Amino acid sequence: MDFTKLGNTCVIGLQWGDEGKGKIVDLLMGHFDVSVRYSGGANAGHTVIVGSETFALHQLPSGCLRPTVRCVITGGTVIDPAVLLGEMAALEQRGIDLSPERFKLSDRAHLVFPWHRKEDVLAEKTAHAGSKLGTTARGIGPCYSDKVSRHWGVRICEMQHPDRFRERLARIAAQKNAYFAAVYSDPETLDGKAIANEYLEFAAQLAPHVCDTTQLLRESLDEGRRLLFEGAQGAMLDVDHGTYPYVTSSSATGGGVATGAGVPLSAIQGRVGVIKAYSTRVGAGPMPTELADRTGEWIRERGGEYGTTTGRARRCGWFDAVAASYAANLVDPTHLAIMHLDTLAGMDELKVCVGYRCDGKIVNRFPADTYALEQAEPVYETLPGWDEDLGACRDYDALPKAARGYVEWISERLRTPIGMIGVGPARDQVIMVGS
Ligand code: GDP
Ligand code: IMO
Ligand code: MG
């Protein structure tokens, strides 16, 4: 894969998150100048393994591990300043430079407040058994709701005016307290004044990093710098196109790049769709190919499928080509990065889902109706497996024939060429494919 041909590129998950975006961003970053996180917040958990060290990035772009690149968090994100400062301090202790010249944070990003985390937890706790979303409890949904409904959304730039900020927070806290008391009979009251003072301290620490990142990225584009946009979550968790309501609250498909980063569509040429060789999902919601059996457990243990953010066991299942084709149609990737091919070694045969049986009829279109999807039974084709350990493989032609057949099947099905194949978690455990 020739990275110089890609132009500015976004890395987007094509499933339900955790596809290996962090690893791909870290890998590609050697060929780019600016690392950009443009959506989501601390719900994301992107793992990058460098030598013997493992990094889990939540709000910072994964490119921050490459010393020469500039790192930018843009206005489409929701920022929990305490979590961000904690993440920065932990990385700085490990020798990562996050100086203000290098790391920039948008003044347009929205702030996550204690009432957002509280509402996330209370809404989940009190939801009817079948309608819990299984969120990450990071306050993401309530923060994006406040942003879109406008009265209670607060942006980072507002902390530049302490008196107004204190006043606003006192009013918002009063409203939130009334809401929690009325809806959840919750006796605790949040102290808007104390929260404002705490946030103003965070603001002082973050101030050297805060700027108009929309302008900064425009200048970077004009200077001919190469931008790598790092998606969070995955297409199937997109608020508009995912398995609603079992989704996150932001746009996790390609459109989210331009709106979240504040760059024009014309600025994005490459689109790397990251996809696992099987399916995983964490949290609630339909997953037609889920294997609630020993095969599912086998995949989980071999693939280390435990959440980077919450530590929850991920639900595992066969590759779902119906969902993946739908996601590929949404994103139109220029290349696929097919991850975790190594995890599947040792199976006699592998199943791939090519349709759903819904109400006695076989469909190969991904339905909008979540209830229909919950009832859908997967229709499988079977492909041959392989036994060889792929961890040391760096050359496409050296892959076992069945492994090549498997990824080629995915590539044809998704009508997208393969750019990279993951054969292990380490930075160098990847096969570069094609031009
Ligand atoms: P992200 O949220 O998309 O960045 O993905 P996560 O970091 O949450 O989850 C991906 C997990 O798979 C991490 O533990 C990675 O270290 C690991 N990983 C990534 N690519 C591969 C691969 O090709 N093979 C194996 N075995 N592990 C991988
Ligand atoms: P990365 O970037 C996997 C899931 C949650 C839950 C739903 C809503 O690491 O791929 P939220 O807290 O966003 O309101 O939760 O979305 N979810 C993720 N699953 N990877 C992620 O991010 C996720 N971010 C959110 O588990 O089902
Ligand atoms: Mg993750």
Q: What is the Cα–Cα distance from 164 to 179, expressed in whole angstroms?
A: 23
CA angle, residues 7, 11, 15, in degrees to nearest 5: 150
Q: What is the Cα–Cα distance from 52 to 336, expressed in whole angstroms?
A: 27
Atom of ligand 2 nearest to the CA of 46: 9
Q: Is the pLDDT of residue 343 over 80?
A: yes
Task: Write the CA distances from 17 to 107, 215, 240, 314, 426, integer angstroms.
Answer: 27, 29, 15, 11, 19
Q: Is the pLDDT of residue 2 over 80?
A: no
The token pair that represents 108 in the structure block: 């347009």
Pocket of ligand 2, candidates 60, 116, 136, 145: which has the most ligand atoms within 8 Å of its Cβ, to mutate? 136
Specify whether 46 is catalytic. Answer: yes
Q: Is 317 helix (H, G, I), strand (E, B) or coil?
A: strand
Give the range among 112-116, 329-333, 424-428, 431-435 with minimum mean pLDDT: 431-435
Q: Which residue's structure tokens are 């009832």? A: 375
Q: What is the Cα–Cα distance from 224 to 207, expressed in whole angstroms?
A: 27
Nearest to 416 by CA among 404, 398, 434: 434
The overall average pLDDT reported for the chain is: 96
Nearest to 42 by CA among 104, 88, 99: 88
Q: What is the Cα–Cα distance from 154 to 158, expressed in whole angstroms?
A: 7
- Residue nearest ligand 1's atom 27 by CA: 425
Closest ligand, as measured to the CA of 277: 1
What is the mean pLDDT of the segment spanning 125-141? 93
Model's pTM, two decimal places?
0.97
Q: Going by CATH, does the domain composed of 7-104+212-432 fall within 3.90.170.10?
A: yes
Share of the chain above pLDDT 70, in %: 100
pLDDT tens-place string over residues 190-199: 999 999 999 9
Q: How confident is the model at residue 213 (pLDDT cuts 50, 70, 90)?
A: very high
pLDDT tens-place string over residues 410-425: 999 999 999 999 999 9
What is the mean pLDDT of the segment spanning 66-77? 96
Q: How confident is the model at residue 1 (pLDDT cuts 50, 70, 90)?
A: confident
What is the mean pLDDT of the segment spanning 147-160? 97
Residue predicted with more confidence, 4 or 97: 97
**Does ligand 2 lie within 6 Å of residue 44's CB atom?**
yes
Domain boundaries, the chain: 7-104+212-432, 110-208
Atom of ligand 2 nearest to the CA of 120: 14
What is the mean pLDDT of the segment spanning 143-149? 98
CATH superfamily membership of 110-208: Adenylosuccinate Synthetase, subunit A, domain 2 (1.10.300.10)
Exactly one of 2, 31, 33, 46 is catalytic; which is it? 46
Q: What is the Cα–Cα distance from 198 to 390, expressed in whole angstroms?
A: 50
Q: How confident is the model at residue 4 (pLDDT cuts 50, 70, 90)?
A: confident
- Residue nearest ligand 2's atom 15 by CA: 135
Question: Would you state the pLDDT for residue 131?
Answer: 87
Question: Would you state the pLDDT for residue 309?
Answer: 79
